[in-house]
Chain A
Amino acid sequence: MNFYLLSLIKAAVMVGALLLTLLYLQWVERKVIAHVQVRLGPHRVGPHGLLQPIADTVKLLTKEDLMPPGVNKFLYVLAPFLAIMLSLISISVIPFGPAVDVAGVTTWMQLADVNIGVLLILAISSLTVYAVVLAGWSSNSKYPLLGGLRSSAQMISYELPLGMAVAAPLLLSNTLSLRGIVEQQSHYYFGFIPAWNIFHAPFPQVFGFIIFLIAMFAETNRVPFDLPEAESELVAGFHTEYSSMKFAGFFMAEYANMITACSMATVLFLGGWNPLFSPRYGSNYVPAVLFAAAGLMALWFALHPPHKGDRKTMPVFGLAAFVLAAIFLVPALQAILLPLFWFLAKAGFLIFTFIWVRATLPRFRYDQLMRFAWRFLFPAAILNLLVTGLLVALVG
């Protein structure tokens, strides 16, 4: 098929899936934080609050779109646009699966395999600083300016440990292309330990993974590093003066950055789409088993409903789970669905960790945050890189 037409279709599929995920990621976050805090979260709009994101979207769209007086109009409108555009570009190089055969066309489940893929992601994360600093400055107001300057100083400080933490698995994989990095992690040690980069000989990248995650928390302005947008300190930081769709733009960009961060961690450290144990030992049946178990749990809740409405909604969820389990057993679809399942399971677990940390930890003070970056995380990342390099040179 024509390369341009194929790329257009893949781009449409990816953007559609991403926007739907962004919408429901907000629901997942609110529900998880609510249950951690022993309350219910949204549960009135639709069954278990599933229509809440749609209600929120309608609200944001119909709000008055203010342009405060005294703002720099061009930069004020440019900033959220830049934020979303950059976060969507970085999704385009992430590989979601191997080469698959869809309707006679063989294609990789990735929009573009750039052979400097890792550097592209680093470049895009360097450019997201501009969205924040321009939003803060163009708003012509104290709190956004302070929030914007603090947030961008935080982001550029944490880019250094991020780069060093990314360089260590590159030494193990010997390639800058994301597809190549995942392919290097596809074998198994002793038959059952997966060769993901956190288990890779000669130096398992456990510290690199932790440093990368911490740096990504800071890059995406998530708790505990979200002082620049904290309500108690800076009203709302750099997006104080924004309303309706432009505010929604920053919101979406933050979630999209979170998804990119977790996908990058999965690709670099957790082996991308490679399963946990070899298909020889039956890893092809794991998704079917998991979804069947979820269906059974939903049916049990249908019989002992905690709330009145569950008597009707839980059987529907149970049926949906069983249908998904059955789909994962169809051999024709397994080639596409299984790698996608493993990738989404790993990235989803990391996203759940991001949300879990938000519900649990208090936030850093700004000077504590900067001291942590420069006095602990950066030397730790350099040490990790040195040890990895030494072991690779000695062994490999």
Chain B
Amino acid sequence: MDPILFLIFAAIAVVCGINVVLQTHPIASALSLICVMGSLAVIYLLLGAQFIAAVQVIVYAGAIMVLFVFTIMLLNAGAEKKSAGSLVSRAVGAPALVALLGFLSYVLYRAFPNPLAVRFGDFTLGTAESVGKAVFTTYLLPFEITSVLVLIAILGAVLLAYKELD
């Protein structure tokens, strides 16, 4: 059951990822990216990370991507204009990419052989309780610094988008 689920959602993720890169209209890329994030959330569930899967959908697919979609609609971004690309780069680039990925896959496959497999239900530390415990004890300083970072980002965004009322 596990391999079937993984293969289905990995296929969806890769196809939508290719769609993100190849589509001309930004809104189609944005929707494909949302599908990638959704399928990755399911794969996180297979890896036992329940809390992170839920946070991925709430924060990434449900808030950050909404921001992207809003910006695309506000700016009325149209389809991208064709640019002059060299034929050589296209003829050499795509096979080189595939060859590099094939080599990388082989290396990874040899580094982590089959017995080191992931079984659904083996990893039980993905609950909200264990993540919360670790964040508020071991990783308290990064947590506080990240909240300051988010505050700075809010200030920056408000300042950049502020319209002078005059």
Within 8 Å by CB, do A and B touch in the complex? yes
User: Could you list which residues of chain A lie within 8 angstroms of chain B, going by C-beta atoms?
Assistant: 75, 115-116, 119-120, 122-123, 126-127, 129-130, 133, 137, 145, 149, 152-153, 156, 176
Bound Cα distance from A115 to B130, whole angstroms: 14
Partner-binding segment picked from B5-13, B51-59, B100-108: B51-59
8 A-B contact pairs sorted by A residue (CB < 8 Å): A116-B50, A116-B128, A119-B128, A123-B54, A126-B57, A130-B34, A133-B69, A149-B73
Give the A-B contact count at a CB cut-off of 8 A.
50
- The interface residues of chain B, by DSSP majority, are classed as helix
Chain B residues whose C-beta falls within 8 Å of the C-beta of A137 in the assembled complex: 27, 73
Tell me if B66 and A156 are in contact (CB < 8 A): yes
| Nearest CB in chain A to that of B57: its residue | A123
| Nearest CB in chain B to that of A137: its residue | B73
Tell me if A123 and B73 are in contact (CB < 8 A): no
20 more A-B residue pairs beyond the given contacts A127-B61, A130-B66, with a C-beta to C-beta distance below 8 A: A75-B27, A115-B50, A116-B50, A116-B51, A116-B53, A119-B51, A119-B55, A119-B58, A122-B54, A123-B58, A123-B62, A126-B57, A126-B61, A126-B63, A126-B66, A129-B66, A133-B69, A133-B70, A149-B74, A156-B63
Bound Cα distance from A130 to B61, whole angstroms: 10
Tell me if B62 and A129 are in contact (CB < 8 A): yes
Distance of B132 from chain A, by nearest CB (Å): 11
Chain B residues whose C-beta falls within 8 Å of the C-beta of A133 in the assembled complex: 66, 69-70, 73
Distance of A299 from chain B, by nearest CB (Å): 52
Distance of A87 from chain B, by nearest CB (Å): 15
Tell me if B54 and A119 are in contact (CB < 8 A): yes
Contact with A along B137-152 (1 / 0, CB 8 A): 0000000000000000
Bound Cα distance from A129 to B34, whole angstroms: 13
Distance of B24 from chain A, by nearest CB (Å): 14
| Nearest CB in chain B to that of A129: its residue | B66
Distance of A366 from chain B, by nearest CB (Å): 16
Bound Cα distance from A181 to B122, whole angstroms: 26
